[in-house]
Structure 1
């Protein structure tokens, strides 16, 4: 994954609570392969009317929000089912950060594993940011190293799990995170061989399948 450090991008307001994973990517679109992309189906049933035509008043369809890389929403974003495709849809739709007061736990984990930052900002700060965006504000800067969000004259501190922060800053998967401790793991194994030699197979002995 591409490391996430500082992102300055167009932000899109989504002043809705409880945006769940079925809204982020309706289940009927999840049969396609990951390589085909999910961005076209992001928030499909909110962005489009019954005839499939885009709703011109929906935030993501507004011309001034084209190419947005940051989404700002209200509390409990990403609740619902555990479908990882919800994170796929956001990433494929061009987003690298979602700012909200709270997130679904599984969604947050899926987001981080796909290089998407779930930044938890206090509710009052989110409301101020939404108001600024609705008044015509556009560009927001998210600094993962400093844990800050800046927009216009506003500047706020956000929260994210420290392990997830480390993964995002380095562009690491869970395997990469484990490998970053390789020296400590090897040192522990070497010491454990000395403490408990009976627990280790003799050198060159293959383990039974």
Structure 2
């Protein structure tokens, strides 16, 4: 996956609570088992005034001209609740979202973000709203910077907030290595253990 070290991008405020994975990508939009081809279905019930013709709803935040290139999402409580579908994270990533800032997340969604290179940042609701107020005036001129290396979120008006993640989660994002790839880094040690184990307990390894 793509490492996350420092990212500066346009932020959009979608401060609704309990946005579930079916709102992020409705089940009917999941037409592939891969990670691509999902961005078109992102927030489909909200982005489109007519889902069938794909006519955009100009009032939806991601459709507004000033939000072009949005890569940071400011959200409400319990973002990504609902089903465990990883497609929700894949759709966000394909759209270009690199970080989501919210007061809380659905637990499985949070882990899915980490394993796909998205930064899920938990901040108090008052601070998320403060960030939203700061960027909404002119999103293009007031981007947010998320510096995971330094552990800081930087915004307009001198805003600065700590990025707090578990050490293992932080390392996963910084290196771009998901749990499988991190395990592969230990392949020589695993093979050495298996060889020693085979010699010690040969009777377990009947061919």
Common fold: TM-score over 0.5: yes
Is structure 2 residue 39 aligned with structure 1 residue 34? no
Aligned equivalents of 1:3, 1:24: Cα separation in 2 = 23
Match of 1:161 in 2: 166
The reply to whether residue 171 of structure 1 matches residue 176 of structure 2 is yes
Match status 1:101 vs 2:103: yes
TM-score scaled by structure 2?
0.86
Aligned partners of 1:100 and 1:146: how far apart in 2?
A: 20
TM-score normalized with structure 1 length = 0.86
Give unpaired runs (5+ residues) of structure 1.
none
* Contact 2:35 2:90 survives alignment (8 Å): no
Change (3 A) 1:184 1:13: same
Q: Distance in 2 between matches of 1:3 and 1:97?
A: 12
Closer, same or farther: CA 207–75 of 1 in aligned 2, 3 Å:
farther
Question: SS in structure 1 opposite 2:105?
Answer: coil
2:43 match: 43
Asked if 1:12 is matched to 2:12, the reply is yes
Structure 2 residue runs of 5 or longer lacking an equivalent are: none
Deviation per residue, 1:135-179 (Å, 9 max, x gap): 224311001112211111211113223222111100102122223
| Shift of residue 128, structure 1, vs aligned partner | 0.5
Where do 4+ consecutive residues of structure 1 move more than 3 Å? 179-187, 205-208
CA contact (8 A) 1:122 1:158 kept: no
Question: Does the CA-based 8 Å contact 1:75-1:101 persist in structure 2?
Answer: yes
Aligned CA RMSD, in angstroms, stands at: 2.5
**Aligned counterparts of 2:144 and 2:127: Cα–Cα separation in 1:** 13
Contact 2:21 2:83 in 1 (8 A): yes
Structure-2 separation of matches of 1:185 and 1:78: 36
Looking at structure 1, the residues matched to 20 and 35 of structure 2 have their Cα atoms a distance apart, in angstroms, of: 23
- Residue 112 of structure 1, CA deviation: 1.5
When Rg is computed on C-alpha atoms for both structures, the one with the higher figure is: 1
Q: 1:41 to 1:181 in 2, by over 3 A?
A: same
**Residues matched between the structures, number:** 202
Match of 1:71, SS state, is strand
- Answer whether contact 1:99 1:120 (CA < 8 A) is retained: yes
